[in-house]
């Protein structure tokens, strides 16, 4: 077996797989002084190994060989994604039509009958090398198109301003999860979030500052959502999170985490440090009243968001269940709940220490 000559990077590599060494010798003598490197292997196994190591531009393959014959070797080469683009020319002493038909059926690109004529072999090799060059260019074009398509797909699903999913992708995801929730009887929650007094920031510092604030808030939303949730920009300063397999109480916890993160965050810290708050509305299928479709889930969550705004902003409002009432929580509510047991204990302690007096004494 011959190895790749040094400095062959710009030369075309022709691999001859034939148990007759005279074939490779003949080609070397014919193409001496040309920009070809002739590599050879005496059987299919050796040839396939050399294909991997040398990446030839064309393969001349004898049909009749001991062990794995040329037809089986051609089929192997043409079914392997790594080697299928390499042109294969079959070498055969047979002139029967059925052998040629079998050769093309195996994936071979051309054939040459023995004994060879230099002009014919030279013409077929040059034709196959042109085919190879065109195929390589086509592969490069396909890769470029695939990369472009991936970029286009990303543009179709991602909001370019915030990096979150866009409204179109949000709707698609919501409808998919709705069908899944209906089919399997699992809860599906939706959080709608809106930056409080965002218009004031825009009017004061301009739209570029507003865009940066949206980007910063999008980071908080993405960080507050769980791996199974889908966060999207709904429009303007409004964002949405789809929460599959999530109850209303758990969705409220997620919304509270984001609300509190926004409350503590300093927006536009490098230029115009701002404190901002966010209001959120939560609705859940099937527990929230009036939720019988994806559109209804959005509407009910949006109504809960409106109630949060109307109640003073910087809070999370959860849509009420059938026959129930809507609930609203803020950081102050949480603080009051945490303090309540202590306050009750203090009140009880004071009552137990209070001196008793008789009715006569009070009069």
**Torsions phi, psi for 362 (to 5 deg):** -65, -35
Residue among 144, 313, 145, 340 nearest 237 (CA): 313
**Torsions phi, psi for 165 (to 5 deg):** -65, 150
d(CA 328, CA 167) in angstroms, rounded, equals 26
Query: What does the pLDDT look like over 317-332, one tens digit per residue?
Result: 999 865 444 556 665 5
Q: Kindly give the pairing relationship between strand 58-62 and strand 110-113.
A: unpaired
Residues 6+ apart with CB under 8 A from 31: 14, 38, 122
Strand stretches in the chain, DSSP E: 12-17, 36-41, 58-62, 88-92, 110-113, 188-195, 230-235, 238-244, 266-267, 274-275, 278-285, 316-318, 327-329
Query: What does the pLDDT look like over 71-97, one tens digit per residue?
Result: 999 999 999 988 988 999 998 887 778
Helices (H) and strands (E) in the chain, counts: 12, 13
Residue among 291, 307, 308, 311 nearest 299 (CA): 291
Q: Kindly give the pairing relationship between strand 230-235 and strand 238-244.
A: antiparallel
Which residue ranges form the domains of the chain, and what is each CATH number?
12-141 (3.40.50.2300), 167-335 (3.30.70.270)
Q: What is the pLDDT of residue 104?
A: 86
237 is catalytic: yes
Q: What is the pLDDT of residue 337?
A: 43
- List the chain residues with pLDDT less than 50: 1-8, 323-325, 334-363
Rg (CA), the chain: 37
Number of residues in the chain: 363
d(CA 259, CA 279) in angstroms, rounded, equals 7
Q: What is the pTM of this model?
A: 0.57
Strand partners, 189: 243, 284
User: Exactly one of 177, 237, 260, 318 is catalytic; which is it?
Assistant: 237
Q: Which DSSP string corresponds to 308-333?
A: HHHTTSSSEEE--BTT---EEE-HHH
């Amino acid at each position: 077996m011959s190895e790749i000559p040094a400095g062959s990077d710009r030369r075309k590599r022709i691999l001859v797989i034939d148990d007759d060494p005279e074939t490779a010798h003949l080609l070397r003598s014919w193409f001496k002084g040309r920009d070809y490197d002739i590599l050879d292997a005496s059987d299919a196994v050796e040839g396939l190994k050399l294909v991997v190591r040398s990446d030839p531009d064309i393969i001349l393959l004898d049909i009749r060989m001991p062990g794995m014959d040329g037809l089986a070797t051609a089929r192997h080469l043409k079914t392997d994604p790594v080697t299928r683009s390499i042109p294969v020319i079959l070498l055969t002493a047979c002139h029967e039509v059925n052998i040629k038909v079998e050769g093309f059926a195996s994936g071979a690109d051309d054939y040459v009958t023995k004994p060879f004529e230099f002009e014919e072999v030279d013409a077929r090799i040059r034709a196959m090398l042109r085919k190879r060059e065109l195929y390589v260019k086509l592969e490069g074009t396909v890769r470029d198109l695939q990369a472009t398509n991936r970029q286009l797909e990303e543009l179709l699903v991602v909001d370019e301003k915030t990096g979150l999913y866009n409204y179109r992708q949000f709707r698609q995801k919501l409808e998919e999860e709705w069908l899944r929730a209906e089919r399997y009887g699992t809860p599906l929650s939706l959080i709608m979030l809106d930056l409080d007094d965002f218009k004031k920031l825009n009017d004061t510092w301009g739209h570029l500052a507003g865009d940066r604030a949206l980007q910063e808030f999008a980071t908080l939303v993405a960080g507050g959502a769980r791996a199974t949730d889908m966060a999207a920009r709904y429009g303007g300063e409004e964002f949405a999170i789809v929460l599959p397999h999530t109850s209303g109480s758990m969705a409220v916890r997620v919304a509270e985490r984001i609300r509190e993160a926004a409350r503590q965050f300093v927006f536009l810290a490098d230029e115009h440090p701002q404190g901002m708050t966010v209001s959120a509305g939560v609705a859940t299928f099937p527990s929230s009243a009036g939720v019988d479709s994806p559109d209804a889930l959005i509407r009910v969550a949006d109504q809960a968001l409106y109630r949060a705004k109307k109640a003073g902003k910087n809070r999370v409002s959860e849509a009420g269940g059938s026959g129930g009432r809507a609930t609203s929580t803020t950081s102050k509510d949480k603080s009051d709940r945490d303090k309540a047991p202590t306050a009750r204990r203090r009140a009880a302690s004071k009552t137990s220490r209070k001196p008793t007096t008789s009715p006569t004494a009070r009069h």
